[in-house]
Amino acid sequence: MVDVTKVNEILERHGSKREHMIAILLECQEEYFYLPREVLEAVSAGVNIPITSVLAIATFFKAFSLKPIGRHPIRVCNGTACNIQGGPLLVDALERELKIKKGQTTPDTLFGLDTVNCVGCCGLAPVITVGPDVHGKVKISDVPKIVKKLRPKDPTEPKEEKDGPTVH
């Protein structure tokens, strides 16, 4: 069961208005790292619109996920340049390092792993993104270092998020 007390705070900040639905759902996803059913139901009740309307928005926009994507969603570019430069090998290395398969999230919900069609920075191939951060010219030997930087020192304490995206 998901604690939805944060949803009420988010709704209050946005005045529980239907026209703020995307902003509300984006904030909810930042808080929970995906949109669990309980959160969607709380938003539906708080904004006083049918759950089907909330689901329509949550499934229409690619920015939203109904399954856990992890605190640090890792995406490997699958575009032509990245594919030729070793993107599939990076997927393999990340699967081994994280002990999950593409499309899954680690049991601690810290990491999610997937591919994207193109990141749009072919000159940096192969590329992975970790949340908003772009890592270019990634080698298989870089994978453990990238993951280690994101793991909290104390597993009960989440790693501090920094402001804005960076390119590595």
Q: Report d(CA 74, CA 126) in Å as an integer.
A: 13
Lookup: tokens for 85: 């430069």
Query: 95-108 pLDDT, tens per residue?
Result: 999 999 999 999 99
- What is the identity of the amino acid at 31? E
Query: 132-142 pLDDT, tens per residue?
Result: 899 999 999 99
Asked if 143 contacts 76 with a C-beta cutoff of 8 angstroms, the reply is no
Radius of gyration for the chain, computed over Cα atoms and rounded to the nearest angstrom: 17
Average pLDDT, the chain: 90
Instruction: Say what the pLDDT of residue 155 is.
Output: 52
- What is the identity of the amino acid at 158? P
- Percent of the chain whose pLDDT exceeds 70: 91
The domain locations on the chain are: 5-60, 72-150
Q: Greatest CA separation found in the chain?
A: 51
Cβ-proximal residues to 46 (8 Å cutoff; 6+ apart), any chain: 7, 8, 11, 16
Q: Report d(CA 161, CA 115) in Å as an integer.
A: 23
Asked if 62 contacts 77 with a C-beta cutoff of 8 angstroms, the reply is no
Q: Report d(CA 5, CA 103) in Å as an integer.
A: 29
Cβ atoms within 10 Å, residue 13: 12
Q: Report d(CA 58, CA 64) in Å as an integer.
A: 6
| CATH 3.40.30.10 correct for 72-150 | yes
Q: Is the pTM of this model over 0.75?
A: no
- Percent of the chain whose pLDDT exceeds 90: 73
Q: Is 94 exposed, middle or buried (0-12, 13-18, 19+ CB in 10 A)?
A: buried
Lookup: tokens for 77: 């570019």
Q: Report d(CA 120, CA 122) in Å as an integer.
A: 6
Instruction: Say what the pLDDT of residue 164 is.
Output: 59
Q: Give residue 159's Cα distance to chain centre.
A: 15
